[in-house]
Amino acid sequence: MTKPVLYLMVCGAGPAGHSARMVELAQADGWEVWCLATPAAIEHFLDLGELEALTGHPVRTGHQRAGQPALPKATAVIVAPATYNTINKWAAGIADTYVLTQLAELTGLGLPIAVLPFVNTALAANRVFQRSVAELRESGVSVLFGSGGFVPHPPRTGGRAMDSYPWHSALEAVKRANSG
């Protein structure tokens, strides 16, 4: 039987450096994982070799190039860590990274999408962020923000929030959506 396909979309925030954890959790649960990453994730955080070795696929940062395998059709999507930047741009309809272009299309297709933000309390307090979270939820996206999902940390304490980042809640959300 073919495995369900999970796109893991990684943005430029601290947990990106630990996204192998998400891959391993999903693989243990029977998913085939393909990673897509923003330029900020690649520049500051990701170990591409580690993710490619784990998933067996190249990490996609742009449209398919000659010689690259095509992305299989996704069963579900996890955006983790999701930055303030990507959440706001996505909710505003901006599609200027490959991740945002894919998210625009996949949201329109109604695919199960779970978003696990990583923002501090200062970023989270912005009305624009709260509006974006509400907008995405209204679009049917599962934004795991607040109790049961990601709870923001005070500014400059993000390093300590890494171990408790609730990767598992994103997996549970797409499983719920996929079985429902």
Ligand X SMILES: Cc1cc2nc3c(=O)[nH]c(=O)nc-3n(C[C@H](O)[C@H](O)[C@H](O)COP(=O)(O)O)c2cc1C
> Which position among 13, 51, 115, 116 is part of the footprint of ligand X (CB under 6 A)?
13
- Provide the angle, in degrees to the nearest 10, between the axes of the packed helices 98-109 and 84-92: 50
Nearest CA-CA partner of 11 in 39, 49, 52 = 39
User: Would you say 81 or 177 has its CB closer to ligand X?
Assistant: 81
User: Would you say 15 or 112 has its CB closer to ligand X?
Assistant: 15
Task: Tell me, by CB under 6 A, how many residues bind ligand X.
Answer: 17
Alpha-carbon distance of 94 to 119, in angstroms, equals 20
Alpha-carbon distance of 83 to 67, in angstroms, equals 31
In angstroms, give the least distance from the CB of 19 to ligand X: 12
- Interacting positions 138-177 with ligand X (CB under 6 A): 158
User: Would you say 75 or 86 has its CB closer to ligand X?
Assistant: 86
- Interacting positions 49-108 with ligand X (CB under 6 A): 83-86, 97
Burial class of residue 48 (count of CB atoms within 10 Å of its CB; 0-12, 13-18, 19+): middle
Given the rule CB under 6 A, which residues bind ligand X?
Answer: 11-14, 38, 40-41, 44, 83-86, 97, 118-119, 123, 158
